[in-house]
């Protein structure tokens, strides 16, 4: 068995086999060889793949489509000067190529998160505008029993959603490997919110301070309005219901800015911009709020 490069999804079984091989080698050639060989063991995340989230036995992914045309700018290798001049206080932008989160992505595979945090109690919020209700349960129970495609008929207060309310002490071993977008706004302090949600789920329109939202696995469709343009929505209807019931009747001039954020991309949203989100797949994501 070749131990130098292994898929992250096979880490436990491969490492056990490699350990046995290396111990046998050490018995023959000494401890020095063992140390040299062990340093060659490298975990590599496949360039394509869903980290076990899409292939998990959670039912068929909801049939939700990407928008016909993305109306949010995509910028690769944006400079801080360009960010401040054109976007920080004016409009959203999708950032590409600013950070390398391949290690964080590997750690966020379904197998790795369940192995590391399965017994941790997480706090779920209802998927409506105000998220009043909170429910605590083990992370593994959420993943195996509640992480399923959104029912279009369900109301927001009947849908539980894992995003934010993270215990930063318990999740610190994961968060320490995340590399957020390098841009900051004067007088703000970054704070992370980590989440995992099923296809068709999301949060209806709301607003708060500025921040970034990066997709680690899956795809997340965003709908955004500037602060002066309040969207038409019901605070207890899910984003999926809004997309099916209200969005088709909107005049072109009344439609929001919208775009689907792919894995590895991060969207910046300015202060007080209205936004709603819709996960097109089972998605893993992390936001950096600038408060």
Q: What is the DSSP letter of 263?
A: T
Structure pTM?
A: 0.80
Tell me the C-alpha distance between 214 and 190, whole Å.
Answer: 14
- Cα–chain center distance at 52: 14
pLDDT in tens, 42-57: 333 333 478 999 844 4
pLDDT in tens, 10-50: 444 444 444 444 344 444 444 333 333 333 333 333 334 78
pLDDT in tens, 100-148: 999 999 999 999 999 999 999 999 988 777 666 789 999 999 999 999 8
Angle at 222 between CA 103 and CA 243, to 5 degrees: 135
Domain ranges (residues) in the chain: 5-44, 74-290
CATH of domain 74-290: 2.60.120.650
Q: List the 266-269 sheet strands across, edge first.
A: 74-76, 93-96, 266-269, 211-217, 283-290, 190-197, 160-163, 121-126, 134-138
């Amino acid at each position: 068995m070749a131990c130098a490069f292994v898929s992250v999804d096979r880490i436990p079984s491969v490492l056990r086999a490699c350990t046995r091989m290396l111990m046998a080698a050490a018995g023959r050639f000494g401890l020095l060889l063992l140390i040299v060989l062990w340093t060659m063991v490298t975990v590599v995340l496949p360039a394509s793949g869903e980290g076990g989230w899409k292939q998990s036995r959670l039912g068929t992914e909801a049939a939700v489509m990407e928008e016909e045309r993305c109306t949010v700018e995509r910028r690769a290798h944006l400079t801080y000067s360009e960010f401040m001049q054109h976007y920080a206080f004016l409009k959203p932008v999708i950032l590409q190529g600013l950070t390398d989160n391949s290690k964080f992505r590997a750690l966020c595979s379904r197998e790795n998160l369940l192995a590391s945090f399965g017994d941790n109690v997480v706090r779920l919020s209802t998927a409506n505008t105000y998220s009043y209700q909170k429910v605590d349960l083990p992370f593994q129970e959420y993943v195996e029993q509640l992480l399923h495609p959104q029912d279009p008929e369900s109301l927001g207060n009947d849908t539980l959603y894992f995003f934010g309310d993270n215990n930063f002490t318990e999740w610190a071993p994961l968060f320490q490997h995340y590399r957020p977008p390098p841009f900051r706004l004067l007088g703000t302090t970054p704070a992370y919110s980590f989440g995992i949600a099923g296809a068709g789920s999301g949060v209806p329109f709301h607003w708060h301070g500025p921040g970034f939202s990066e997709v680690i696995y899956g795809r997340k469709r965003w709908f955004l309005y500037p602060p002066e343009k309040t969207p038409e929505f019901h605070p207890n209807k899910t984003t999926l219901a809004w997309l099916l019931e209200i969005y088709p009747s909107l005049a072109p001039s009344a439609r929001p800015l919208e775009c689907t954020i792919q894995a590895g991309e991060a969207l910046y949203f300015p202060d007080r911009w209205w936004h709603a989100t819709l996960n097109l797949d089972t998605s893993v994501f992390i936001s950096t709020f600038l408060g």
